[in-house]
């Protein structure tokens, strides 16, 4: 049986057309500049009396994510709300370099009977015969982008090996870049004061408050944030060193560090003039480490106490159970709980209670309570304490009010 698709009827007689243009640079000399693309499409639409120009949507931005292209997203919203019938675009790669993203949006638009036409590939998304070719061209566009990205990554890796780096627009408080080198500037005193105050026992919140009262602001005209100060206290740049390639390279699609991609860091010692001397740096790092261990042991998460803290006790010696991070097989880290006295080692009471993975503990608690999955709110409401033993755990429920 042959099925004929009947397009939805509309009152207007002209096809409402939108034009999407994108370039990765705003250079006027570029042959396919936005101005030239817009002029060409406007002339084309003017020659056809059946077409009505809704608008020209354009982005001057590199990158693959549609969400980072404001005019693209505005065009999609207009199309989905029924304001556009057809979208003209120079090529598949201009519309999207990500094949999954390209398919996502063209399929979305198709549900509203919106056709996307790609001039370079001579493709229309409403033509069934072009479906395979469209997917192929989208994949090719993505591979081209991936190839460019890999070349860029290779260049970055080589520069890291040679100890070369470019700060770009990432200005560091207390430093200026002079002939490719970091040189302390008139704001270096702020850095020294932050380090010295923390080494003297001041908490970060008070450091931030005192600097704000003295009018110390960021480049954006706002006071330093607590997170920003904490990062400064761990930034090796201030001791004169530089760590290149701190994290995994970003994935082409997600734009997030990809843990599956191996990388090599390069730590440059005495790379530039230090603002903080070694003695002050080491004092600060020792206090940071001590505070981190203290917070982790108390079950604090970003200043909020972990819901299990204060409810878990060692069944063998009665001591409180503390939370910690354990490095397991092949360097995989996981959260676990163990007896406070065992964690204190020789200074404790000699308890040998085993370390218990948090994941296994929550699973065991759920099973004993007859829950299909662990419920934090229900646990806090119903459970008084949990005694964790070597072979079993005992749960004490709260008494009914």
* pLDDT single digits (tens) 304-322: 678 888 888 888 777 888 8
Give domain status of residue 34, yes or no: yes
Same domain, yes or no, for 273 and 359?
A: no
Give domain status of residue 379, yes or no: yes
Number of alpha carbons in the 13 Å side-chain half-sphere of residue 241:
13
Asked which of 92-96, 151-155, 286-290 is least confident by mean pLDDT, the reply is 151-155
Residue 208: closest CA among 221, 197, 219: 197
pLDDT mean over 114-128: 87
pLDDT tens, residue by residue, 193-206: 999 999 999 988 89
Asked which of 200-204, 232-236, 331-335 is least confident by mean pLDDT, the reply is 331-335
Give domain status of residue 326, yes or no: yes
What is the spatial distance between Cα 354 and Cα 326, in angstroms, rounded to a whole number?
A: 13
Same domain, yes or no, for 120 and 136?
A: yes
Domains held by the chain: number: 3
Same domain, yes or no, for 53 and 137?
A: yes
- Select from 293, 312, 345 the last residue of a domain: 293
More confidently predicted of 265 and 190? 190
Q: Beta-strand (E) ranges in 201-320?
A: 242-244, 266-268, 300-301, 304-305, 312-314
Give domain status of residue 349, yes or no: yes
Specify the DSSP element, H or E, that contains 16. strand 15-23
Band (pLDDT 50/70/90 cuts) for residue 26 is: very low
User: Looking at the chain, how many residues does it have?
Assistant: 401
Query: From the CB of residue 338, how many other CB atoms can be counted at a distance below 10 Å?
Result: 22
Same domain, yes or no, for 78 and 138?
A: yes
Radius of gyration of the chain (CA): 30
What is the spatial distance between Cα 195 and Cα 233, in angstroms, rounded to a whole number?
A: 7
Same domain, yes or no, for 319 and 288?
A: no
State which residues form the domain around 59: 15-142
More confidently predicted of 52 and 63? 52
Q: Given a cut of 70, is residue 85 above it in pLDDT?
A: yes
Same domain, yes or no, for 308 and 229?
A: no
pLDDT of 282 reads 93
Same domain, yes or no, for 193 and 282?
A: yes
Give domain status of residue 365, yes or no: yes
- Select from 229, 264, 293 the last residue of a domain: 293
């Amino acid at each position: 049986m042959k099925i004929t698709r009947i397009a939805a009827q509309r009152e207007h007689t002209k096809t409402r057309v939108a034009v999407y243009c994108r370039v990765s640079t705003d250079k006027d000399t570029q042959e396919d500049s936005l101005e030239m693309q817009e002029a060409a499409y406007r002339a084309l639409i003017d020659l056809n009396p059946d077409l009505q120009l809704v608008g020209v949507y354009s982005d001057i931005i590199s990158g693959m994510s549609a969400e980072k292209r404001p005019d693209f997203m505005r065009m999609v919203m207009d199309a989905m709300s029924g304001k556009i019938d057809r979208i003209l675009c120079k090529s598949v790669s201009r519309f999207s370099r990500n094949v999954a993203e390209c398919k996502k949006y063209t399929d979305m638009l198709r549900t509203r009977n919106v056709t996307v036409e790609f001039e370079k590939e001579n493709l229309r998304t409403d033509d069934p015969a072009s479906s395979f070719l469209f997917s192929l061209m989208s994949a090719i566009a993505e591979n081209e982008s991936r190839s460019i990205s890999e070349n860029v990554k290779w260049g970055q890796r080589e520069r890291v090996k040679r100890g070369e780096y470019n700060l770009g627009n990432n200005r560091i408080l207390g430093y200026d870049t002079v002939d490719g080198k970091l040189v302390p500037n008139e704001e270096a005193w702020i850095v020294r004061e932050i380090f010295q105050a923390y080494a003297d026992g001041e908490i970060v919140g008070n450091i931030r408050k005192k600097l704000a009262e003295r009018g110390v602001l960021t480049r954006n005209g706002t006071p330093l944030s607590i997170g920003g100060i904490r990062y400064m206290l761990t930034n090796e740049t201030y001791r004169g060193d530089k760590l290149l390639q701190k994290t995994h390279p970003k994935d082409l699609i997600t734009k997030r560090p990809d843990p599956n991609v191996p990388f090599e860091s390069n730590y440059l010692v005495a790379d530039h003039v230090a603002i903080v001397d070694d003695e002050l740096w080491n004092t600060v790092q020792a206090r940071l480490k001590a505070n981190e261990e203290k917070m982790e042991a108390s079950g604090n998460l970003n200043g909020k106490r972990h819901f299990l803290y204060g409810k878990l006790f060692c069944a063998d010696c009665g001591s409180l159970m503390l939370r910690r991070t354990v490095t397991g097989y092949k360097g995989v880290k996981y959260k676990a709980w163990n007896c406070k006295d065992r964690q204190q080692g020789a200074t404790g009471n000699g308890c040998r209670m085993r370390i218990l993975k948090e994941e296994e503990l929550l699973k065991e608690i759920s099973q004993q309570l007859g829950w299909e999955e662990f419920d934090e709110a229900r646990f806090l409401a119903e459970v008084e304490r949990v005694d964790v033993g070597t072979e079993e755990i005992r749960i004490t429920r709260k008494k009914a009010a």
